[in-house]
Amino acid sequence: MSDEQHGMFGAAGTGDTSGYGGLVRATASAGSSQRPFGGYFDQVADDLERAYPDFADAIERVVVDRGELTLHIKRERLVEVALILRDKLKFEMSMGVSGVHYPEDTNRELHAVYHLLSVTNNQRIRLEVSVPDVDPHIPSLVEVWAGSNWNERETYDMFGIIFDGHPGLTRILMPDDWQGHPQRKDYALGGIGVEYKGAVTPPPSDRRSYK
C-alpha cells in the first residue's frame, strides 16, 4: 500500500521555498515488509534472529523498499542490536548517521538513520530509530563504531537529536550559541544575513522570489 506526499520534503502550509511545493509523489506504507525479502536480506534477518533472542521485542518493523533493507529499532535496544550486528553479523562499518524530521509523525517526529556496511560479506543495511520532539534522546553508538562521532554531532547540530553517552556532543557546523536546528522542517527559511569580507549578502527571502 502507498500514500501520497505533497511537496519535495513533505512540507505543507509554510516554509516551502524549494520550488517543488506542487510535487505529488507516492510514499511507501509504514508497515513491515512480508517475507521473502529477497537477496541477502532474508539471511541477515535470520542471522540476527538466531544471534539475538530478543529480536522480536527490539525490532519494531523490517522494511524492504527500493532494494534496501531498513531495521526500525526501539531506542532502548539500539546499542544491543548494534553490537550483535558488528560482532556476530560482521557489519564492521557505520558509513554515517542521518537525521530526518517528520513534524506530522506524532510522537516519532525525529528519526536517526544509521547506514551500515559489512566489508566481510559485502552487504549493506540501515538502522532507523524514531523519537518524539519532546524527548529527543537516542543512545550514542560511538563506542560501537568510533566513526559515528562527528556524524552524531552533525545530526545533533542540524536536528537537535541528543545522543546520550557521546564523548563531546557539541555543534560541529553552526556556532555554539546558534539558536535552533537548521535542517528541521519547522526552522524558518531566510531572514538571516550572511557577512563576507567586505560585503554582506542579504538573506534568501530578500533576494529571490519563489512565486
What are 156-174's pLDDT values in tens digits? 999 999 999 999 999 999 8
Helix (H) or strand (E) holding 42: helix 41-51
Is pLDDT of 59 > 70?
Answer: yes
Q: Is residue 14 part of a domain?
A: no
Q: How open is the CA angle 24-27-32, to the nearest 5 degrees?
A: 170
Q: Is residue 204 part of a domain?
A: no
Kindly indicate the confidence band of residue 7, based on its pLDDT and cuts at 50, 70 and 90. low
Q: Which three cell numbers stand for residue 44?
A: 541477515
Angle, in degrees to the nearest 10, between helices 41-51 and 78-87: 110
What is the model's pLDDT at position 31? Answer: 74
95 found inside a domain? yes
Please state, rounded to an integer, the average pLDDT across all residues of the chain. Answer: 85
Beta-strand relationship, 110-118 and 93-101:
antiparallel
Integer angstrom CA distances of residue 129 from 60, 189, 197, 204:
9, 27, 42, 33
pLDDT of residue 187: 85
In a domain, 201, yes or no: no
**CATH number of the domain within which 87 lies:** 3.30.460.80
Q: Is the pLDDT of residue 208 over 70?
A: no
Measured between alpha carbons, how far is 2 from 10 in angstroms, rounded to an integer? 15
Q: Which residue range forms the structural domain that includes residue 73?
A: 31-180
Euclidean distance between CA atoms 69 and 40, whole angstroms: 10
Residue-wise pLDDT tens digits, 25-58: 666 555 788 888 898 999 999 999 999 999 989 9
What CA–CA distance (Å, rounded) separates 37 from 34? 7
Whether residue 12 is contained in a domain is answered as no
- Structural domain count, the chain: 1
- Judge whether 112 lies within some domain: yes
Query: Which three cell numbers mark 124?
Result: 549493506
Q: Is the pLDDT of residue 1 over 50?
A: no
In the three-class reduction of DSSP (H, G, I as helix; E, B as strand; rest coil), residue 79 is classed as helix
157 membership: H or E segment, kind and range: helix 148-159
Report if pTM > 0.85: no
In a domain, 17, yes or no: no
